[in-house]
Chain A
Amino acid sequence: MVLPGPLARLVEELSRLPGIGPKTAQRLAFHIVEQPQERVTALANALVEAREQIRTCSVCCNLTDVDPCRLCSDPQRDDALLCVVEGPRDVMALERTREYRGRYHVLRGAISPLDGIGPGELRIRELLDRLQSGEVREVILATDPDPEGEATAMYLSRLLKPLGVKVTRMARGMPVGGSVEYMDEVTLAKAMEGRREIT
């Protein structure tokens, strides 16, 4: 069956989204055209508004609708702590813990030589600018514990240490609820290395 023009166009646009194959795109498109008009208008508006209003925070480089973003302008937070993460979703994950009350810096990626992503592609310049003021006492490197995240952390620690700021790396080891028996040897080694005295 040949799809009517507008429907075919919708399918094509949807299938450009990550993780959406042609079959899923078709299913979504048929679903959309059977929805009430106002639903679809609301979806379309949400798409356009999100795209138009979301930009990069000029301080932390996170995505935001107000500049500086809410986390950067919150007077309750500790200016002396700066947590460096790879992406906006990492900020959300850390915020869910409600443990951390410092500021963030979002690199918007990680060093990945095999993908051609070097330090120049990340928001490192902005990070250095933020450290100029001398207010930050500790930079917490919270990039992923995978090769790309580790490379990024190593690069940043070499870059930041000479500036006289304390640089720490988030702990690596056993996940809560895991079992020693099933842990891979690299994680276990890391967990042993980073063991702590029980207080």
Chain B
Amino acid sequence: MIYHAEGIVLRSQPFGEADRIITLLTRPEGKVRAVARGVRRTRSRLMGSTQLFTYGSYLLVRGRSDLETLSQGEIRESLRRLREDLDLMAYASYACELVDRMMVEREPDEFVFGLVLAVLRQMEAGSPPFGLVRYLELALLDRLGYRPELDGCLRCGKAWSPGNGWGIDGEAGGLICPECGTAPTVRRLSPGAVESLRRMRSLPAERAGVLRFSAETAREVRSALRDLLDARIEGPLKTRAFLESLEAAPWKEANHGRAGSD
């Protein structure tokens, strides 16, 4: 089967002497992995369109194996700033690893495709990457059937009203009210952090770039989402370690008012 697909390059790994295996999130076929033959040679026509984070149009061939063959590729949006700025590269890598880890191969999802594209585009355009990846985390959880309960207590059903003592239980997947929140797995959150999470959910993906947090809220939101994600994803995310090492890098004296990296 030969098919055209719009896709985003989530990952690109060297394979054999001159080939690469690229992981594409495509609109019509979902996540697929494809061999790009000869792409590491200087004159390969596929080189440009297989760069990490590229949004392009691809011609793919599906054979009997679980790997497609990439036959042609054309760049729609190169999103090159994501590769040319160290911090953006780290955040975009994190976003792509998250999507790669959470999506099952060959299960198309128009919504997730639009979501990922919207997040990467806004990152490219200069919106704060911290808020964008937080938005992506929550949106993926919501979409893929792990929708965290943010409207009330998971245990007793008490509706959320801004107040102290509420927390989040990553394992159970949602808010816990002050009366029920005795388990050690419950992480206490300030009312502002809970409101931020709820506000994130109400935003459409195209507007996620407006998200900004105070340093303290940012830390809380990040930890809450990390608890929720870690309960759903097996094993550590490799890109998280890199974001952390950037944060600890010698030139980062101040945090520029952000909560910093993951």
Residues of A near any B CB (own CB < 8 A): 19, 111, 113-116, 118-120, 146-147, 150-151, 154-155, 158-159, 162, 175, 178, 182, 184-187, 189
The reply on B133 being an interface residue by CB < 8 A is no
Of the A-B pairs whose beta carbons lie under 8 Å apart in the complex, a sample of 25, sorted by A's number, is: A19-B17, A113-B89, A113-B93, A113-B238, A113-B239, A113-B243, A114-B93, A114-B96, A114-B97, A116-B238, A116-B241, A118-B242, A146-B51, A147-B12, A147-B89, A150-B84, A151-B90, A154-B86, A158-B251, A175-B42, A182-B45, A184-B75, A185-B78, A186-B80, A189-B80
CB–CB B17/A150 < 8 A: no
Q: Which of B53, B241, B250, B251 contacts A118 (CB 8 A)?
A: B241
The reply on B184 being an interface residue by CB < 8 A is no
Q: Which residue in chain A gives the minimum CB-CB distance to B236?
A: A116
CB–CB A114/B75 < 8 A: no
Q: Which 8 A-B pairs have the closest CB atoms?
A: A184-B48, A116-B238, A113-B242, A113-B93, A154-B86, A113-B239, A147-B52, A147-B83
CB within 8 Å for A150 and B251 given contacts A113-B94, A175-B42: no
Q: Which residue in chain A gives the minimum CB-CB distance to B75?
A: A185
CB–CB A19/B245 < 8 A: no
The reply on B249 being an interface residue by CB < 8 A is yes
Chain A residues near B49: list those with CB within 8 A.
Answer: 184
Q: CB within 8 Å of A: which of B226-256? A: 238-239, 241-243, 245, 249-251
The reply on B16 being an interface residue by CB < 8 A is yes
Complex: how many Å from CA A156 to CA B246?
Answer: 12
Q: Hey, what's the 0/1 contact readout for B76-87 against A, CB within 8 Å counting as 1?
A: 001010011110
Q: Hey, what's the 0/1 contact readout for B182-201 against A, CB within 8 Å counting as 1?
A: 00000000000000000000
The reply on B47 being an interface residue by CB < 8 A is yes
Q: Which of A147, A154, A158, A184 contacts B47 (CB 8 A)?
A: A184
Closest Cβ of chain B to A153, distance in Å, is 9
Closest Cβ of chain A to B58, distance in Å, is 14
Known contacts A118-B241, A120-B245, then 10 further A-B pairs from the complex at CB < 8 Å, ordered by chain A residue: A113-B243, A116-B241, A119-B249, A147-B12, A150-B89, A151-B83, A151-B89, A154-B84, A162-B251, A186-B48
Chain A residues near B97: list those with CB within 8 A.
Answer: 113-114
Complex: how many Å from CA A183 to CA B106?
Answer: 32
The reply on B64 being an interface residue by CB < 8 A is no
CB within 8 Å for A114 and B239 given contacts A147-B89, A184-B47, A185-B75: yes
Q: CB within 8 Å of A: which of B10-36? A: 11-13, 16-17
Closest Cβ of chain A to B18, distance in Å, is 11
Q: Which residue in chain B gives the minimum CB-CB distance to A150?
A: B83
Chain B residues near A162: list those with CB within 8 A.
Answer: 251
Closest Cβ of chain B to A34, distance in Å, is 26
Q: Which residue in chain A gives the minimum CB-CB distance to B40?
A: A146
Complex: how many Å from CA A159 to CA B242?
Answer: 16
Q: Which residue in chain B gives the minimum CB-CB distance to A158?
A: B251
Q: CB within 8 Å of A: which of B167-211? A: none
CB–CB A187/B48 < 8 A: yes
Q: Which residue in chain B gives the minimum CB-CB distance to A116?
A: B238
